[in-house]
A and B are shown apart, each in its own frame.
Chain A
Amino acid sequence: MGKKLISMTVNGQTHEVAVEPRQLLIHTLREELGLTGSHIGCETSHCGACTVDFNGESVKSCTLLAVQADGADILTVEGLANDGVLHPVQEGFTEKHGLQCGFCTPGMMIRAYRLLQENPNPSEEEIRTGISGNLCRCTGYQNIVRAVQYAAEKLSAE
């Protein structure tokens, strides 16, 4: 199958990649760019393990073609920390025990990152609704909520 050259910015770095038109964005990120932080959990857009920040929105990269990302600005978990300093969302997840097996964590944190920009001071209910596109099988969400609250406080104090 003929490949198409696309260009996208991932974690602040521009990449030119030749992809099959049918290749899913998650596979491009994981296999072409080696960014294996985002995961595949269901292939049907339900679990959110593949969530990336895409032109300022949370997007499930298992149901987007890489060619649709031509020209896009993407943030993955690998780009959350800044010069080795953890983002408050990352800090919150470890401080509040917001992860166990870690498989949903990258998608969950990328979603939380965007949620806190959409709503810097969310209530518990707003956090629960805001992360409801991301499934976690380990934590029961309680400590994820606390992690997001931690990040919200830290970000608003910055």
Chain B
Amino acid sequence: MATPAEEIKDPVDGIGCSRKRKEDARFIQGKGNYTDDLKLPGTVFGAFVRSPIAHGRVVSINKEPALAHPGVLAVLTAEDLAPLSLHWMPTLAGDKQMVLADGKVCFQQQEVAFVIAEDRYVAADAIELVEVEYEELPVIIDGRRAMDDDAPVIRDDLEGQTEGAHGERIHANHIFRWDVGDAEATDKAFDTAPITVSEDISYQRVHPCPLETCGCVSNFDKISGELTVYLTSQAPHVVRTVVSMLSGIAESKVHVIAPDIGGGFGNKVGVYPGYVCAIVGSIVLGRPVKWIESRVENLAATAFARDYHMHGEIAADENGRIQALRVNVLADHGAFDACADPSKFPAGLFSIVTGSYDIPSAFARVDGVYSNKAPGGVAYRCSFRVTEASYLIERMMDVLAHKLGVDPAEIRSRNFIKAEQFPYTSCLGWEYDSGDYHTAMNQALEAVDYEGLRKEQAEKRANGDLMGIGVAFFTEIVGAGPTKNCDILGIGMIDSCEIRVHPTGSVIARLGTKSQGQGHETTYAQIIATELGIPSDDIQIEEGDTATAPYGLGTYGSRSTPVGGAAAARAARKVKDKARKIAAAMMEVSPADLDWDTDRFIVKGLPDQSRTIKEIAMAAYQHLPEGLEQGLEAVEYYDPPNFTYPFGAYLCVVDIDRYTGEVKIRRFYALDDCGTRINPMIIEGQVHGGLTEALAIALGQELSFDEDGNILSASFMDYFLPTAVETPHWETDFTVTPSPHHPIGAKGVGESPNVGGVSAISNAVIDAFAHKGVTHLQMPHTAYSVWKTINELGINQ
């Protein structure tokens, strides 16, 4: 059953307590500070002229009519940016991307020219006055057609280049081939296995779509030569480095400030043309330039997620014990490879595709291709390509169960990695830190009365009703990542925390991550509170200002708790080590003679001899014996020894209207194991939100295009975001299996519900048709799509 957030009484409101959020006060009073709220004196506004076609040559651009319009200050084109070498920019994936159309356009809504005007209405008027002539070219919209012999070449600039950033290119529209695993052993297992199953499983192109779109305000101070950019970034430090590299301005003179962010979900990791154009505009004009994209621009041009077309195969014995897994993926990356992955991982962490199962051999191949769609490839509320991998294996488990006539929950239990096998090294090379899958699954099955549900389903089926039960079990790989294999543009994926304890015992802590709603100001304070015995109310958390915070790689891939949270705990421990020395000096004993208790050091065996952290803080700024330096602060750059591996068991029950095809989620139960739970209230909130995004993907979201490359889902008219009415009540539960290598045992949770939720809901919809021989249906399971299945099967007769 659903478990309410437990109420723990804690003197410092630290780890484990559901304390209210520290950040709420400003948001509930309309005092949040989002990028578009910023109003610097003299600000001017930028807006893009965008391509109306998906593929074509730019024959001419006439900006004179726009420049003649009152209030217009500048119109930038690729020609203007070329002398600065800023008409193209490097992407995180080792490719490059046009900032403004350089001779051709490769997707609809691509940035062609940037108009800067005195106000946003004038800028909107003036983009209509820029005259652009195009010569249309044939388009590739379905990535599966990108490597056809007669496919039009999308990236003329790469003509003749047979080597890309990740090895050989086998076609003009090919980006990379990435192989992982033992192909030979896998093939051999398939040759001899008594049971094999296969299925084509696509994960449609979707968009993270935070409620706040992307934007920035760039302000260049001509006198000091300093550039300050306020922008919607999940990774402000990385943006600072990129801006410095692109602009040639010393990194010490570039200040990137990410203020409050209205949701990110992966959308706000990348560096987008709007940022570059606003920066150039502010340098040229010497005035602050604001660029805030519209919703249409956000959906059509600023990143995407998924678009993975997968072929899965399982080889098993007669009992359903898996012997091998083989996966082939066609990854559609759009017109420029701007995927936001650790640089050495062109397919992200897709090799977590063996999931929660003990599989002896596996092989996966991913081919990335170009198409006439927007660049992006961001991890929409998941670690890099983890939700695609998890969806593949969780669908394939059902396909195998169907083939053998074994229950989907049972087939999973037969193949789970056992608790005693952890730490477990998967055949694709990951070392899973900890887990107890059988316990979690059994708790879930019992909580929903799984057997009872299956009985009910049998009765419903006898009456011709459509009821589906979706079982999903997931293991994520989050918290990128160890610098030995994870970097972005050569910078290891560390994160950081600096803690300063003031003389009166309150604290400021700054981190390299950046909250977009996850509640960092509260949860990081709770970690430090428990470590230092200082009430979390007295601990101020700051992120997002690169001038003050230590360098970090930012918030995505559930890395804040695994990496930033670890840095916070370890920085606090450094502070505590120094506090111990000061306390020892204060009481004239050896540091080794002290024990820590809640908020104080006590002399061993003398409980009345103690100094509280508050007393120590004051002493830290007074006269100290020789060898002890004043101050009580520390900074930690944390390089995680491994990823963390959160997991969970999700169960979903759907009822489907057999005349309309509408899917109703009757019940959804989510058991999450994210290791140590820092704030159960916030964890549950994260789970509710992630599940709602999963619902959106499974039942409705898709960035779709017509055959000419026109985007058909670029507003909320056509791109599905669930309202409170479509969203069911979510039941949450948990087990706790701490991570052995994380300082407080926490694993991260923000993305688990999306990863597991999509599989559970999709499996439930498909399960509703299992008795009719259906093994797979493509997402999204819209009413129309489901109705088509019903109609084909004649169930509505």
A102-B724 in contact given A41-B211, A46-B717, A77-B30 (Cβ < 8 Å): no
**Is A37 interfacial (CB 8 A cutoff)?**
yes
**Is B20 interfacial (CB 8 A cutoff)?**
yes
Q: Give chain B nearest CB distance to A18 CB in angstroms.
A: 14
In contact, B727 and A42 (Cβ under 8 angstroms): no
In contact, B517 and A145 (Cβ under 8 angstroms): no
A-B contact pairs, 16 of them (CB 8 A): A36-B36, A41-B212, A43-B294, A80-B29, A93-B24, A99-B24, A101-B261, A103-B263, A104-B211, A106-B30, A132-B724, A136-B724, A137-B265, A138-B263, A140-B689, A140-B730
- Excluding A100-B519, A102-B28, A102-B517, 11 further A-B contacts by CB distance (< 8 Å) are A36-B34, A44-B716, A77-B28, A80-B29, A97-B685, A100-B518, A101-B262, A103-B32, A105-B28, A131-B723, A137-B211
Q: Which of B36, B121, B262, B729 meets A23, CB within 8 Å?
A: B121
B-facing mask of A128-148, CB < 8 A → 1, else 0? Answer: 110111011111111111000
Which chain A positions have C-beta within 8 A of B727?
A: 128, 140-142
In contact, A136 and B211 (Cβ under 8 angstroms): yes
**Is A81 interfacial (CB 8 A cutoff)?**
yes
A147 to B294 alpha-carbon distance, docked (Å): 30
B79-133 interface with A by 8 A CB criterion:
120-121
A18-50 interface with B by 8 A CB criterion:
20, 22-23, 27, 30-31, 34-44, 46-47, 49
In contact, A37 and B516 (Cβ under 8 angstroms): no
Q: Which of B23, B121, B684, B715 meets A102, CB within 8 Å?
A: B23
A38 to B211 alpha-carbon distance, docked (Å): 13
In contact, B519 and A127 (Cβ under 8 angstroms): no
A143-B685 in contact given A43-B295, A102-B27, A103-B32 (Cβ < 8 Å): yes
In contact, B31 and A138 (Cβ under 8 angstroms): no
Residue of B nearest to A84 (CB): B29
In contact, A143 and B28 (Cβ under 8 angstroms): no
**Is A78 interfacial (CB 8 A cutoff)?**
yes
Q: Give chain A nearest CB distance to B679 CB in angstroms.
A: 9
Interface size (B, Cβ < 8 Å)? 56
In contact, B692 and A141 (Cβ under 8 angstroms): yes
A38 to B518 alpha-carbon distance, docked (Å): 21
A37 to B20 alpha-carbon distance, docked (Å): 21
Which chain B positions have C-beta within 8 A of A81?
A: 29
B588-636 interface with A by 8 A CB criterion:
none
Q: Which of B20, B26, B688 meets A142, CB within 8 Å?
A: B688
A42 to B294 alpha-carbon distance, docked (Å): 7
Which chain B positions have C-beta within 8 A of A41?
A: 211-213, 262, 295
**Is B393 interfacial (CB 8 A cutoff)?**
no
**Is A90 interfacial (CB 8 A cutoff)?**
yes
A131 to B32 alpha-carbon distance, docked (Å): 22
B-facing mask of A93-117, CB < 8 A → 1, else 0? Answer: 1110101111111100100000000
Q: Give chain B nearest CB distance to A85 CB in angstroms.
A: 11
A135-B294 in contact given A90-B28, A102-B27 (Cβ < 8 Å): no
Which chain B positions have C-beta within 8 A of A23?
A: 121
A104 to B27 alpha-carbon distance, docked (Å): 10
A110 to B265 alpha-carbon distance, docked (Å): 25
A-facing mask of B274-300, CB < 8 A → 1, else 0? Answer: 000000000000000000001110000
In contact, B260 and A138 (Cβ under 8 angstroms): no
A49 to B27 alpha-carbon distance, docked (Å): 13
A62 to B210 alpha-carbon distance, docked (Å): 18
In contact, A139 and B688 (Cβ under 8 angstroms): yes
A34 to B39 alpha-carbon distance, docked (Å): 9
Residue of B nearest to A125 (CB): B725
A132 to B721 alpha-carbon distance, docked (Å): 11
A145 to B723 alpha-carbon distance, docked (Å): 12
Q: Which of B32, B36, B717 meets A44, CB within 8 Å?
A: B717
A69 to B723 alpha-carbon distance, docked (Å): 28
**Is B418 interfacial (CB 8 A cutoff)?**
no
In contact, B689 and A138 (Cβ under 8 angstroms): yes
In contact, A138 and B517 (Cβ under 8 angstroms): yes
Which chain B positions have C-beta within 8 A of A43?
A: 294-296
In contact, A36 and B37 (Cβ under 8 angstroms): yes
Q: Which of B31, B296, B518, B689 meets A137, CB within 8 Å?
A: B689
**Is A5 interfacial (CB 8 A cutoff)?**
no
B719-733 interface with A by 8 A CB criterion:
721, 723-725, 727, 729-730
A91 to B727 alpha-carbon distance, docked (Å): 24
**Is B681 interfacial (CB 8 A cutoff)?**
yes
By CB atoms of chain B within 10 A, which of A20, A103, A105, A140 has the most? A140
Q: Give chain A nearest CB distance to B672 CB in angstroms.
A: 14
A135 to B213 alpha-carbon distance, docked (Å): 14
**Is A51 interfacial (CB 8 A cutoff)?**
no
Which chain A positions have C-beta within 8 A of B27?
A: 99, 102, 105-106
Q: Give chain B nearest CB distance to A45 CB in angstroms.
A: 9
A141 to B682 alpha-carbon distance, docked (Å): 14
Q: How large is the interface on A (under 10, 10 to 19, 20 to 34, 35 or more residues)?
A: 35 or more
Q: Give chain B nearest CB distance to A37 CB in angstroms.
A: 2
Q: Give chain A nearest CB distance to B364 CB in angstroms.
A: 31
A-facing mask of B207-231, CB < 8 A → 1, else 0? Answer: 0011111000000000000000000
**Is B779 interfacial (CB 8 A cutoff)?**
no
Which chain B positions have C-beta within 8 A of A95?
A: 20
Which chain B positions have C-beta within 8 A of A58?
A: none
In contact, B688 and A40 (Cβ under 8 angstroms): no
In contact, B716 and A37 (Cβ under 8 angstroms): no
Q: Give chain B nearest CB distance to A57 CB in angstroms.
A: 19
A94 to B23 alpha-carbon distance, docked (Å): 9
By CB atoms of chain B within 10 A, which of A43, A86, A97 has the most? A97
**Is B462 interfacial (CB 8 A cutoff)?**
no
**Is A61 interfacial (CB 8 A cutoff)?**
no
Which chain B positions have C-beta within 8 A of A42?
A: 295, 715-716
**Is A149 interfacial (CB 8 A cutoff)?**
no
By Cβ-Cβ distance, the 6 closest A-B pairs, closest first, are: A37-B30, A101-B517, A103-B262, A102-B27, A140-B688, A100-B517
**Is B573 interfacial (CB 8 A cutoff)?**
no
In contact, B724 and A76 (Cβ under 8 angstroms): no
Which chain B positions have C-beta within 8 A of A77?
A: 28-30
In contact, A139 and B262 (Cβ under 8 angstroms): no
Which chain B positions have C-beta within 8 A of A133?
A: 723
A94-B28 in contact given A44-B717, A140-B689, A140-B692 (Cβ < 8 Å): yes
In contact, B723 and A132 (Cβ under 8 angstroms): yes
A90 to B24 alpha-carbon distance, docked (Å): 9
In contact, B30 and A44 (Cβ under 8 angstroms): no
A137 to B212 alpha-carbon distance, docked (Å): 10
In contact, B689 and A37 (Cβ under 8 angstroms): no
Which chain A positions have C-beta within 8 A of B243?
A: none
Q: Give chain A nearest CB distance to B771 CB in angstroms.
A: 31
In contact, B295 and A37 (Cβ under 8 angstroms): no
In contact, B725 and A37 (Cβ under 8 angstroms): no
Which chain A positions have C-beta within 8 A of B332?
A: none
A90 to B29 alpha-carbon distance, docked (Å): 8
A-facing mask of B185-219, CB < 8 A → 1, else 0? Answer: 00000000000000000000000011111000000
A99-B28 in contact given A43-B295, A44-B717, A143-B688 (Cβ < 8 Å): yes
A132 to B722 alpha-carbon distance, docked (Å): 9
Q: Give chain B nearest CB distance to A90 CB in angstroms.
A: 4
By CB atoms of chain A within 10 A, which of B31, B212, B261, B715 has the most? B212
A80 to B730 alpha-carbon distance, docked (Å): 30
A57 to B723 alpha-carbon distance, docked (Å): 20
Which chain A positions have C-beta within 8 A of B260?
A: 101-102
A71 to B686 alpha-carbon distance, docked (Å): 42
Q: Which of A49, A86, A93, A141 meets B211, CB within 8 Å?
A: A49
In contact, B210 and A101 (Cβ under 8 angstroms): yes
Residue of B nearest to A143 (CB): B685
Which chain B positions have C-beta within 8 A of A78?
A: 29-30
In contact, A103 and B30 (Cβ under 8 angstroms): no
**Is B693 interfacial (CB 8 A cutoff)?**
yes
In contact, A135 and B688 (Cβ under 8 angstroms): no
In contact, A22 and B716 (Cβ under 8 angstroms): no
A81 to B31 alpha-carbon distance, docked (Å): 12
Q: Which of A103, A106, A137 meets B209, CB within 8 Å?
A: A137
